[in-house]
Every structure is written in C-alpha cells, then in structure tokens.
Structure 1
C-alpha cells in the first residue's frame, strides 16, 4: 500500500509543475498585455487620434453653425477628453441670440452642440434697414437686412426706446400663431390713447389697440376673426371694448351716374 502511494505522488508532481508553469505564463501574458495597453493609451492621448474630428450644431435657426462653433472655441486640434461642457456652454451663451446651450460628447471624437435661440418677436424699420428685436428686448444692430422679413412683425414709426421695450414685452407673450399673423405695427398715439398702435394683419384686417394690454387683447384675435365675414375687411377695435367696423365699400359706377342725373 505504501509503495502504491509513492507511485501516485510521483505521477502528480509533473502535473503540479505544469500547472504552476501555465499559471505563471498567464500572469506574464496579462502583465505584458496591460503594459502594451498602457503604452497604447499614452500614445492615443498624446497623438492627434484623440482630437475632435466632428462638430455638429443642432437647434440653430438664425445663427450659422460656423459661428456657434467659433464661439465654443472647439477646433479639430482640441483633445476630445479636454472638452469641458460648462466652459463651452458659457462661451456659446455669451451671444445675445442664444438663450441656452448644452453639449454632448460621443465617443470616439464627435461633439454635438445644442442651442436654443431667443425668439425674434419683431423688426424695427429704420433708414431702409430692418433691425431684429429679441424676446428680451435686445436689438441686434449688427444683424440688419434690407429685405422685409416674414418671421416676425415690423415696427414702423417707433422712436422712444421705452415704448419699444414695452411693445417687445407684449409681443413676447403672444403665441407663435398670433405673432406670425401680424404684418406691421405702427406707433400712432392720439389724444385719447398715448400708447395707441395700428396693426396690419396678414389676412387683410386692421387692428386698433393699445400697448399696455396688447398681448391680452390680441390673444382674442383668432376667435374674433372666426365670427367675421372673410369677404368684408375692416378695423377690429381692441382699445377698451371690442367691436368691428368694416371699411366703406367702393361706390359703384351706377350710383355715380344716378347722383350726376
């Protein structure tokens, strides 16, 4: 029995040595792999491979993507891992037309900048140029156009900055559908209403209103128009009470002949 046991141990010793050798080889391979992986990471971070390759801008309407990218400060020489979201966000939001911005990083080298622009609620017509006015009352004096815009109403004959600011605040409260229905707003003060305005709508109606309650009164415009005959145009009065006065119909030739007789 003792002799048999000795034989069994002698058979197991080579196997144990082989297992230890395999275990040591696996550890060596693991260490070598980790070392090469570390070297590759160092080379990646130090090489142009880690730089930003693609920059996308989403949500912009009036601002060109190139301008937003320039504001962010990101270039194709910027390391993907050194792009700081808070810093880029602050840089882009410095522009008066940007309400807020956000950043998304997509591995391996794509940056997406999302912006929410401030709404253009009106344009001031002065010296044959149109100056955009943002929802916060800021006038973009450097972004002029010589052609009449169609995305917001045009303010005509406005001089006082206080009146413009108040009107802008009222326009910012309007829904996009009502705002887009307005073509022009003329400043027409009179003895009864120092803040009187005359509004020309895209559908052919004219509105007589006041600045101080403009948003509240104009919100009723769609409901008022639905009750009117679309073939009869005129003035919708929204100063105090709401009522409609049609334009005088043109005199017919037959009527003129009868009066001459």
Structure 2
C-alpha cells in the first residue's frame, strides 16, 4: 500500500510568503509604472510636443492657404488634442462665402490637414474695369485682381443680381468643362416672348440663341451640331424649341437682295 506524502503547515509557509512577496512586487511595479506614465502624460500635454506643428491645406484654388489657416484659428500654440473640428469648420464656411465644404483630419503625431471644396466660378461680370467672379449659387464676388480677361469661365454681360442670374449660374455649374470652355460671352437678351432669352458668343466665332431654362441640357448638343458645320461657315445656332443653324451669309445675301430691289424701285 502506497503512503501519501504529508505536507506540514510549516513546509508551506515559506512558499506562501514567496508568492505574497511576488504579488506585492508586481503590484508595486504596476503602481510605479502608472505613476510615471501619468507624469509623462502631464509633461507631454503641457509641453510644445503636444502642439500642432504642421498645417496642410488641400483642394483650394482661388483662396490662399494662409487665409484658410487664419480662418481656422489653428496655430503652433494649438494643442493637437484640443481641436474642435465642428466649430472650426462652421467658422471657416461662415467667414468665406466661396467655400462649399471643409473637412479636417488629424495625422499623428502633430499634423493637421484641412481639405477645402470651393464653389465653382461659373462666370465673370465686369464692374469698374474688374472681372468679378460669379459663383455657382449666383453670388457675385467683389474683385480687385485686375483687368486681365479670365479664361476659366465665360463673361456674363447685361446681367443684374436676381432670379435670372441665380438660375443661369446653376445651369452653368452643370456644364462640362469642355463645353464651358467653348463659351466666350453670355448676354442676357430678353425678348417679348421670352424673358429668359440669352445670346452666346462662342470662341469659334459662332453665336448661340437659347434660353436659360434647361440651358445645360440644350448646350450639350452644341459640339455635335458644330462638328457637322464647315469651320469657315459662321452664323447662329438656335437652341430653343427646335435646333437649327442660320448662316450669316444667308442674312447678308438677303439684305443685299433687298437693297438691290430698293435701288431698282428708286431708279424706276
């Protein structure tokens, strides 16, 4: 018969003391580590190490990065962890009407990226010798950039602020860059039958007679119509109820014929 080994209480006491000492040591190490981490955290948040060091602005074209940064209020004194995105975004959009949308991204350890979407400049109007930009929502910006003719959008002539301009701006915002680039000037030429009638002067030397209503949809047909015409043949492309081309030469010929008839009548 096997005898079971008997362990006395005296034999177990040293082992229990060792286990308790190990637990106490581990607990002490944990407390000391937490203490030092707390001290390091306090020193970090109170030091320049926690401040923003780099601010990058992307997506802006007409608004300077410096202006956007100034509107954001973020500087090298701003804590990286204390940036209130919603307030900053709201302030930037409120203070600059050209900005359509803003987003702010944090990149560890201390970089801020401000992404901006600007309202599209769909056209320009002439004021006091300057070309004032017209935004896609119909807002006209006061500009002092100079008298150089802009090439990124058409010039709008004989327009006043109001519903017509806002609707025109919206239609222009729907145009592709390719078609918008073909337009030189847009004149508001209301008629007895159409208060929204417009006349366009194209960069290829032709005219377009159209209306503001559904303008973008109508203009989508222009490249196809123009490609079927002789490059040297100038005239008016009508984009109203029916689409058709009216050559200047026809008008000139008809006018000449009328003048000849009048001369013959006077001689007779």
- Could you say whether these structures have the same fold, taking a TM-score greater than 0.5 normalized by the shorter chain as the test? yes
CA distance in structure 2 between the partners assigned to 1:63 and 1:159 by the alignment: 25
Distance 1:214 1:78, change over 3 A: same
Native 8 Å contact 2:133 2:143 kept in 1: no
Match of 2:22 in 1: 22
Match of 2:208 in 1: 207
Moved more, 114-123 or 159-168: 159-168
Match of 1:197 in 2: 198
Match of 2:257 in 1: none
Match of 1:135 in 2: 136
Distance 1:43 1:248, change over 3 A: same
CA distance in structure 2 between the partners assigned to 1:191 and 1:45 by the alignment: 71
Match of 1:243 in 2: 244
Match of 1:180 in 2: 181
Deviations 1:77-112 (A, max 9, x none): 111111011101101111101111111112221111
Match of 2:66 in 1: 66
CA distance in structure 2 between the partners assigned to 1:205 and 1:222 by the alignment: 12
Q: What displacement does 1:161 show?
A: 4.5
Distance 1:17 1:195, change over 3 A: closer
Q: What displacement does 1:177 show?
A: 2.6
Q: Which runs of 4+ in 1 moved over 6 A?
A: none
Match of 2:55 in 1: 55
CA distance in structure 1 between the partners assigned to 2:164 and 2:68 by the alignment: 32
Give the SS at the match of 1:200.
strand
Give the SS at the match of 1:80.
coil
CA distance in structure 2 between the partners assigned to 1:143 and 1:116 by the alignment: 23
TM-score when normalising by structure 1 = 0.83
Native 8 Å contact 1:132 1:143 kept in 2: no
Native 8 Å contact 1:131 1:145 kept in 2: no
Distance 1:242 1:40, change over 3 A: same
Deviations 1:99-127 (A, max 9, x none): 11111112221111111111111000232
Give the SS at the match of 1:149.
coil
Q: What displacement does 1:230 show?
A: 3.1
Alignment map for 1:156-175 (pairs within 5 Å): 156-159=157-160, 161-175=162-176
Please provide the CA RMSD for this pair: 2.7
TM-score when normalising by structure 2 = 0.81
Native 8 Å contact 1:132 1:144 kept in 2: no
Mind listing any 5+ residue stretches in structure 2 that lack a counterpart?
A: 251-268
Does 1:105 find its partner at 2:132?
no
